[in-house]
């Protein structure tokens, strides 16, 4: 398989899942600041110009974090990356969709890609403040989900890989994580696979 990713981005979550499954894959770095995601070769693979993209052995290109994570979990059921019962699976997808769709794309995106939201330069601080507000509300919600549990579904699942990458961003931005999220983040950092992925992506 071919994995198109950007170190330190949402693709880190998929990178973790690929390594958890111990799958062979080739890595292709997409340099977002340089505009690699808009270059013809990449657009031919992913017309949405988004990351991550996972190209399967048969040439099928999978895009969108949730879709790729779900495909990995369902393709390798023995690794139990998603609950076997329907309600458990649904709740994992629910959490993952909220983390990616709201915390990331509405919250952190306002912080990291402010110009996409601020019409005028004078709006920059207000847009970033709103992004932080959305992210913090998200962590509060995830904190309640984690109460009494090590992971979002009780045991490690694809949703934890999503939560980890936004926790990682919060850490880099010096955002204070609520207690259960902080414990989850530290627990994730203790996983050998996560440590290996961060080293491979240039973090210590």
DSSP state letter for 60: P
For residue 64 the two structure tokens come to 């969108």
Please check whether residue 78 is in contact with residue 95, taking contact to mean a CB–CB distance below 8 angstroms. no
Active site residue 9: yes
For residue 173 the two structure tokens come to 């931005």
Q: What are phi and psi of 186, to 5 degrees?
A: -65, -35
Residues contacting residue 90 through CB under 8 Å, at least 6 positions apart: none
Q: Which of 66, 86, 82 is nearest to 74 (CA)?
A: 82
Catalytic residue among 9, 75, 97, 157: 9
By annotation, the residues acting in catalysis are 9
């Amino acid at each position: 398989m071919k994995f198109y990713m950007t170190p330190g981005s949402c693709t880190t979550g998929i990178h973790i899942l690929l390594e958890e499954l111990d799958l062979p894959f080739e890595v292709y770095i997409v340099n977002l600041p340089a505009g690699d995601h808009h270059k013809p070769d990449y657009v031919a693979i992913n017309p949405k110009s988004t990351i991550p993209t996972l190209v399967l052995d048969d040439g099928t290109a999978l895009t969108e974090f949730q879709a790729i994570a779900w495909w990995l979990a369902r393709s390798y059921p023995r690794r139990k990356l998603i609950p076997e019962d329907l309600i458990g699976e649904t709740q994992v997808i629910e959490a993952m969709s909220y983390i990616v769709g709201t915390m990331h794309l509405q919250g952190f995106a306002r912080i990291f890609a402010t110009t996409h939201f601020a019409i005028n330069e004078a709006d920059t601080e207000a847009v970033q403040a709103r992004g932080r507000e959305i992210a913090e509300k998200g962590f509060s919600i995830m904190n309640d989900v984690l109460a009494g549990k090590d992971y979002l579904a009780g045991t490690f699942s694809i949703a934890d890989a999503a939560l980890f990458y936004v926790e990682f961003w919060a850490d880099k931005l010096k955002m204070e994580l609520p207690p259960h999220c902080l414990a989850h983040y530290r627990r994730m950092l203790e996983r050998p696979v996560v440590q290996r992925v961060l080293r491979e992506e240039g973090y210590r």
